[in-house]
């Protein structure tokens, strides 16, 4: 069965940095693209970023371009989200999710979510 462990959240000051990790097991991690999705407190889901199965291509929502970087280490079955120049509006629960199906658009396994709070 698929297992997911996320780590790296916490409280960070505006302008600071944080790195999230998501380790998945139970399947061939290197064969799947991976997404990060976030949810601000009391708000809806927002797609943040996607990385190809081999790390060769990455895509971002406009609001995080130039500040966030997604990358992966297939030898560790782990995908990361490096977040720099954090803003108060980046406060959210961040979920990693596996992309399946056509164009990896079916997010079929999700992490438990990790809270990142940006506050002074």
Position 95 contacts another protein (CB under 8 A): yes
Stretch 34-63 residues interacting with another protein (CB under 8 A) = 35, 37, 44-47, 50, 52, 57, 59-62
- Under the binding rule (CB under 8 A), the answer on residue 107 touching another protein is yes
- Binding segment for another protein (CB under 8 A), chosen from 12-20, 22-30, 70-78, 97-105, is 97-105
Under the binding rule (CB under 8 A), the answer on residue 110 touching another protein is: yes
Q: Which residues contact 97 (CB under 8 A, 6 or more apart)?
A: 34, 35, 36, 37, 107, 108, 109, 110, 111
Which of 100, 82, 117 is closest to 24 using CA atoms? 100
Query: Quick one: CA dihedral 102, 105, 108, 114, positive or negative?
Result: positive
Q: Minimum distance from CB of 22 to another protein (Å)?
A: 12
Which whole-number Å values give the CA distances from 110 to 6, 27, 85, in the listed order? 10, 14, 26
**Footprint of another protein (CB under 8 A):** 33, 35, 37, 44-47, 50, 52, 57, 59-62, 95, 97, 100-108, 110-113
């Amino acid at each position: 069965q698929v297992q997911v462990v996320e780590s790296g959240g916490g409280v960070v000051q505006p302008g600071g940095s944080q790195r999230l990790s998501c380790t998945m097991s139970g399947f061939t991690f290197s064969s799947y693209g991976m997404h990060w999705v976030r949810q601000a407190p009391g708000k809806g889901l927002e797609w943040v970023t996607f990385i190809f199965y081999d790390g060769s291509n990455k895509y971002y929502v406009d609001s995080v371009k130039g500040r966030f970087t997604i990358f992966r280490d297939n030898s560790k079955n782990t995908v990361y989200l490096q977040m720099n120049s954090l803003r108060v509006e980046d406060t959210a629960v961040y979920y990693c999710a596996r992309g399946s199906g056509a164009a990896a658009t079916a997010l079929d396994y999700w992490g438990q979510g990790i809270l990142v709070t940006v506050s002074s």
